Structure 1
Amino acid sequence: MSAAMRTRPSLFATAVGKKYAMAISGLVLMGYVLLHMVGNLKIYFGAESLNKYAEWLREIGEPALPREWLLWGLRFVLLAAVFVHIYAAYSLTVMNRRARPVQYVSKRDYVAADFASRTMRWTGIIVVLFVVWHLLDLTWGTTNPDFVSGDVYHNVIASFERIPVAIAYVIANLALGVHLYHGAWSLFQSMGWYGTWRRTFSIAFAGVVVLGNVSFPLAVMFGVVN
């Protein structure tokens, strides 16, 4: 092996590699949030429909695999995607700061920057905190005093009947929408997929996910679902 090959950095060690990692992990997470939202729409068909869907998720892969094995496999894939996404974002931030230790101070540059791009770090933090709360609230029931194991419909209603919790879900999903919009737009750029459709797709994708997710707490708050 030549000295040049020994000293050549791995793809992930480069900015391009980190952007690829963010894009691919972002695709995985985008697919999840869309499917998660679509599945939760079953709440509008009643308790039996939503609870059957939740039970079906636990049974995926049977009888070839033991109960919940495939579900846990998918969870580990999602956890890995989250870790890669956060680590790549952090690494890129560090690289950018080292390459440009003095921040631009031009007001014109700040105003010209897209709002979503300027708030990606903060919307990302909000989304991570929201996911932790979501798990504690509706998956493990730690923060939901009326939690009933296995009764997803009941747990959703019990959670969103608490007005502060419902409002927090709405705010968190608005932050998710901003993050998804810029993330989707940047993803195509990182992968080299250019076209005027990028912005349209990003707006539509983020809009569909946010509208679906926000509808759940609002439906409970206003008595549409009870």
Structure 2
Amino acid sequence: MKALMAVTGIILIVFLLMHMVGNLKMFVGADSFNHYAEWLKGMTEDGGIAYPILPQGTFIWLFRLVLLACIVAHMVSAWQLTVRDRAARGGTNYVVTKRRAQTYSARTMRWGGVILAGFLVFHLLQFTVKAITTGFKASDDPYTMFVKSFSGPMSFMVVVYAIWLVSVCMHVRHAVWSSLTTLGLNTSERARGVLNALAMAVAVLLFLGFIAAPLACALGWIH
């Protein structure tokens, strides 16, 4: 269960890094960002990603199914490990034990996962399903949707987004450490230091990479 949780966690972190790079295309301009969004969906003239190996528009659905499977497997693994941990301690949270996880992000890992899942649902309802339109119209192109969601009257969304990102990145920080440790890379004091530095670097990179474009929209640098 720990190995499954580690592997699915790494896959989801890689997805976040890819998504972050895509968001940074906002700084290149509307044409580049819109083309990227349409390319992922297989809506461009060249057939989009993985075409003609896969039929046009197929890749995005396979990609979503893989991500969904990883999320479900990750959450089920986390739940099973929690149940086993409580059973091993006699079903109580008040047994005095030696703490192995000392960082705040480690101690709040489970709640961080719940917040991350909630953020994901909101994000999908906002930009994919378009059931929650934060300042934009459902008919707007991806670039316009992004700009309107974080500028003008919706500038407060940057603060909300930043708070969510802090929670997500705290989760990611411990997830990187925990996953690589589970997979056997935490073999020495030096390796432990490298893993700590890598985990922090990934978390900080994700926060800065994801907050950059929304903040630029709020400040009027992207419009």
Q: TM-score, normalised by structure 2?
A: 0.87
Using the alignment, how far apart are the partners of 2:206 and 2:119 within structure 1?
A: 15
The equivalent residue for 2:63 is 74
Using the alignment, how far apart are the partners of 2:26 and 2:121 within structure 1?
A: 22
Q: CA deviation at 1:69?
A: 0.4
C-alpha RMSD over aligned residues: 1.9
Deviates more, 1:52-61 or 1:141-150: 141-150
- Name stretches of at least 5 consecutive residues in structure 1 with no aligned partner: 1-17
The equivalent residue for 1:158 is 148
Instruction: Identify if the C-alpha distance between structure 1 residues 115 and 61 changes in structure 2 by more than 3 Å, giving closer, same or farther.
Output: same
* Matching of residue 92 in structure 1 with residue 81 in structure 2: yes
Residues 129-173 of structure 1: CA deviation (Å, up to 9, x unaligned): 111111111112111152344611000011112133222211111
Aligned AA (2:49): I
* Matching of residue 220 in structure 1 with residue 203 in structure 2: no
Aligned AA (1:61): A
Aligned AA (2:183): M
Partner SS state of residue 60, structure 1 = coil
The equivalent residue for 1:103 is 93
CA contact 2:101–2:107 (8 Å) conserved in 1:
no
CA contact 1:160–1:166 (8 Å) conserved in 2:
yes
The equivalent residue for 2:44 is none
Instruction: Identify if the C-alpha distance between structure 1 residues 150 and 52 changes in structure 2 by more than 3 Å, giving closer, same or farther.
Output: farther
Using the alignment, how far apart are the partners of 1:72 and 1:183 within structure 2?
A: 26
Select the residue among 40, 45, 48 that pairs with 2:28: 45
The equivalent residue for 2:136 is 146
- Name stretches of at least 5 consecutive residues in structure 2 with no aligned partner: 42-47
Aligned AA (2:174): H
Using the alignment, how far apart are the partners of 1:150 and 1:62 within structure 2?
A: 26
Structure having the higher helix fraction is: 1
* Matching of residue 181 in structure 1 with residue 173 in structure 2: yes
Partner SS state of residue 185, structure 1 = helix
